Amino acid sequence: MQQFDVLIIGSGLAGLSLALRTATDKKVCLVSKRSINDTASNWAQGGIAAVLNDEDSIEAHIQDTLIAGGGLCDAAVTKMVAEQGKQAVEWLIEKGVGFTREQDNSGYHLTREGGHSHRRIIHAADATGHAVQITLSEKVKQHPNITVMENHIAVDLITTRKFGNKKIESTDDNACLGAYVLDNNTGNVLTIAAQNTILATGGAGKVYLYTTNPDVSTGDGIAMAWRAGCRVANMEFIQFHPTCLFHPHAKSFLISEAVRGEGGLLKLADGTRFMPEHDVREELAPRDVVARAIDFEMKKRGLDCVYLDISHQPLSFIEEHFPNIYKRCLELGIDISKTPIPVVPAAHYTCGGVMTDDKGRTDIKNLYAIGETACTGLHGANRLASNSLLECLVFGQSAAKDILEQANKPSPQLPSWDESRVTDADEEVLITHTWDELRRFMWNYVGIVRTDKRLSRALHRIHMLRDEVYEFYSNFKVSNDLIELRNLLQVAELIVESAISRKESRGLHYSKDHPSTELEPIPTVLEPSNYYSLLDRGDGGGKPQ
């Protein structure tokens, strides 16, 4: 058994920032499913929303967030995050992140994105997430108090309630004591004990066929927390980014919201604009509005894509503001300074997640959730652009502060992982076929526009696949792909159950059967009724001793 003060599962901005803040006084282990920089944060293009000049105000940022959130944002949390925006950005600058400056070097360049009333997005060209990720990950790898485990995936959380007092001596009703982690390098499952465990595993975009997310975004933290007994909220609100590059050789390449913020126009193939017909804010409407408008035009006209046109801007402007987008499109034969960019909506962000308080604490003692894994109340029914990286920073700090106030104490001896009753998988094809089927019917039935019939059909298929995967999971050794599939099925079920329970259209959830919006906004909260879910090992197959 390995023992740490702090176990962080996930190496995106939320996990990295918390690691650096707690390592001053704690022994930290940071687990990364692949390399430390293979994260959604690293892919983030746009920037970080924060009030950084006198023309803007905290009140305006709060109001923009509340409007985008469709009445479901937590007002106190929104205020807390907006107020700490400047401090969070200054912390990154202190760490060495090189944000883009104005041409005259008078200050940092701020751009504007959909839903924002002011220019308040600080950025590093069009690769902000990469600049932040690389800067912080280098500091994490060099820190003497941080152990980085790359190419490791968490299997499940270890809690007192799951094993009972007979196996773990504890007076806590339900506390997290660490996690089982699969070392993909050796195939061994490690037992890692920790005084505090933090889920920072990102979202679940890979549950959909088309997504802007990296392959690691399989909802691991949400699924593990749910199995352990945490409440999950607002999972029906999946944000579809309006503009993902449509090209057979471009996998999940995002065309930043900032392209529209700097004057990019959405058009049909004949050059006709369509956003003025859908919203008075036109191209600068919030993402849910723009994504539905594109989806409507594509289905109405039988189109494969629409087009985003920034070619009216000078080449020098495009190269300065969007160097990576310009370069990538040019590699694919698209000169965006001369021709429009073919785009389609794609699953982008999981607005719901594990319920937490303003310190990132979950329903289970010593278990935290931060970043996209969490449902803090900031995003409500629709995340405002560039609030995601800000949330990672603010909650990374608030959770770290709460953890640092705790005295260090040793962990009890934990049960080891036992594979004495399982064998190597005979056919991996079940995993790949099930994954493909899941992503396709989630895209078709639980996408941008939903109906009761589609949701019911999706839930039926999930339950059938769940039974097959449970049998596979019970009899064979765990693998990275099997763990991810198990988690994706659990998250898919949570998304569909949440969508079925919402009998209205609000924010990112649009139902043809329930098109109106109720006067009273109510969050969707799912409570685990059975801590030993059907996808848990239960009493059969390989399991902890």
Q: What is the 3-state secondary structure (H, E, C) of 15-31?
A: HHHHHHHHCCCCCEEEE
Q: Which residues are CB-neighbours of 493 under 8 A, at least 6 positions away?
A: 459, 462, 463, 466
SS3 351: coil
Q: What is the pLDDT of residues 282-323, one digit of tens each?
A: 999 888 889 999 989 988 898 989 999 999 999 999 999 999
Q: How confident is the model at residue 203 (pLDDT cuts 50, 70, 90)?
A: very high
Helix axes 388-404, 13-22, angle to 10 degrees: 30
Our CA angle for 372, 374, 378, nearest 5°, is 85
Contact 400, 450 (CB under 8 A): no
CA pseudo-torsion sign 489, 491, 495, 501: positive
- Give CA separation, 356 vs 17, 231, 491, 523, in Å: 18, 9, 17, 14
Give the residue from 164, 203, 161, 197 showing the smallest Cα distance to 178: 197
What is the DSSP pairing of strand 353-355 with strand 374-375?
parallel
Q: What is the mean pLDDT of residues 178-195?
A: 95
Q: CA-to-CA distance for 381 and 124, rounded, in angstroms?
A: 28
Q: CA-to-CA distance for 478 and 494, rounded, in angstroms?
A: 23
Please say if the pLDDT value at position 544 is more than 70.
no
* Catalytic residue of the set 287, 328, 502, 537: 287
Q: What is the DSSP letter of 187?
A: -
What is the DSSP pairing of strand 189-199 with strand 510-511?
unpaired
Our CA angle for 513, 514, 518, nearest 5°, is 175
Task: Give Cα 282 to chain centroid, integer Å.
Answer: 27
Q: CA-to-CA distance for 273 and 265, rounded, in angstroms?
A: 7
Contact 467, 418 (CB under 8 A): no
Among 110-124, 165-179, 396-410, which stretch is predicted with the lowest mean pLDDT?
A: 165-179
User: Where are the strands (E) in 200-313, listed by range?
Assistant: 232-233, 238-245, 265-267, 306-309
Q: How confident is the model at residue 409 (pLDDT cuts 50, 70, 90)?
A: confident
**Would you state the pLDDT for residue 494?**
96
Name the helix (H) or strand (E) containing 69: none
**Would you state the pLDDT for residue 181?**
97
Decide which of 164 and 66 is more confident: 66
Please say if the pLDDT value at position 179 is more than 90.
yes
Q: Which residues are CB-neighbours of 65 under 8 A, at least 6 positions away?
A: 73, 78, 81, 82, 378, 380, 384, 387
Query: In 251-311, where does DSSP find H-type helix?
Result: 257-261, 287-301
Our CA angle for 446, 447, 452, nearest 5°, is 40
What is the percent of the chain where pLDDT is above 70? 95
**Would you state the pLDDT for residue 167?**
52
Task: Output b/e per residue, 231-248; b: 16+ Cβ within 10 A.
Answer: bbbbbbbbbbbbbbbbbe
What residues does 544 pair with on adjacent strands? 417
Q: CA-to-CA distance for 66 and 85, rounded, in angstroms?
A: 16
Greatest extent of the chain over all pairs of C-alpha atoms, in Å = 71
**Would you state the pLDDT for residue 370?**
98
Give the residue from 120, 343, 367, 163 showing the smallest Cα distance to 245: 343
Q: What is the mean pLDDT of residues 344-348?
A: 93
What single-letter amino acid sits at 267? K
Q: What is the pLDDT of residues 106-155, one digit of tens each?
A: 789 999 888 899 999 999 988 899 999 999 999 999 999 999 999 999 99
Q: CA-to-CA distance for 259 and 290, rounded, in angstroms?
A: 14
Please say if the pLDDT value at position 33 is more than 90.
yes
Q: CA-to-CA distance for 454 and 470, rounded, in angstroms?
A: 24
Q: What is the mean pLDDT of residues 457-467?
A: 93
Decide which of 241 and 495 is more confident: 495
Residue 323: how many CA atoms within 13 Å on its side-chain side? 7
287 flagged as catalytic? yes
Q: Token pair of 250, please?
A: 């471009």
**Would you state the pLDDT for residue 78?**
98
Q: CA-to-CA distance for 172 and 231, rounded, in angstroms?
A: 18
Please say if the pLDDT value at position 170 is more than 80.
no
Q: How confident is the model at residue 47 (pLDDT cuts 50, 70, 90)?
A: very high
Please say if the pLDDT value at position 450 is more than 90.
yes
Q: What is the DSSP letter of 70?
A: T
**Would you state the pLDDT for residue 112?**
87
Please say if the pLDDT value at position 533 is more than 80.
no
What is the percent of the chain where pLDDT is above 90? 76
**Would you state the pLDDT for residue 218?**
96
Q: Whole-number mean pLDDT of the chain?
A: 91
Q: CA-to-CA distance for 32 and 200, rounded, in angstroms?
A: 10
Contact 41, 133 (CB under 8 A): yes
Residue 66: how many CA atoms within 13 Å on its side-chain side? 15
Domains, the chain, ranges and CATH? Answer: 241-347 (3.90.700.10), 422-544 (1.20.58.100)
Q: CA-to-CA distance for 466 and 490, rounded, in angstroms?
A: 8
Terminal Cα distance for the chain, rounded: 13
Contact 65, 116 (CB under 8 A): no
What single-letter amino acid sits at 336? I
Please say if the pLDDT value at position 537 is more than 80.
no
Q: What is the pLDDT of residues 12-23, one digit of tens each?
A: 999 999 999 999
Q: What is the mean pLDDT of residues 405-409?
A: 90
